[in-house]
Amino acid sequence: MLCRAACSTSRKLVPGLGALGSRRKHSLPDLPYDYGALEPHINAQIMQLHHSKHHAAYVNNLNIAEEKYREALEKGELLEAIKHDFGSFKNFKEKLTAVSVGVQGSGWGWLGFSKEQGRLQIAACSNQDPLQGTTGLIPLLGIDVWEHAYYLQYKNVRPDYLKAIWNVISWENVAARYMACKK
């Protein structure tokens, strides 16, 4: 009985994310009795330690695990869209890299979402030209190919910089942007 009350949370289902899509985080429930209520068999200090430290850590770790799972689901949906629109992640990566290498002078390589077509697209913009303003695409991932972004480390070898940039992309951020623009 106590566990049912202590472990329950309200959950609303969202397609694609199940119960994780819009639920609030779990919180440490109050005990329905004082820490000292089980004395002399279990003292108040033990109860306080177990409830406020151990049980709290379990609740916190559950929230962390569910957030990571939600992010994985989002990334999975983004990955499926990439596979659908480009054939594979490898094809996508090669195409965005090639477009970014091909920017003359300064600019950006972009992964964007077309609301009109309901699909992902790759584009390049010169200088400070905004992606959405020039192409209508909603920006999901931008790769800065202005020389100041890489020159000190990669000199004028833009392809080496673009090879390395894939190791630091925040896919959680890209997936969140993708999920937001689909709404």
Residue list for the binding site for Mn(2+): 50, 144, 148
Is the CB of residue 137 less than 8 Å from the CB of residue 121? yes
Which amino acid would we find at residue 179? M
Answer yes or no: are the C-beta atoms of 70 and 104 closer than 8 Å: no
CB neighbourhood size of 82 (10 A): 20
Note the residue count of the chain. Answer: 183
Residue numbering of the annotated binding site: 50, 144, 148
Cα dihedral 139→143→146→147 (10° resolution):
170
- Please list, in sequence order, all residues whose beta carbon lies within 8 angstroms of the beta carbon of residue 65, skipping any fewer than 6 positions away: none
Cβ neighbours, 10 Å, residue 98: 14
Compute the distance between CA of residue 178 and CA of residue 22 in angstroms, rounded to an integer: 17
Looking up tokens 């920017």 gives: 103
**Contacts within 8 Å (CB) and 24+ apart, 163-167:** 163/97, 166/93
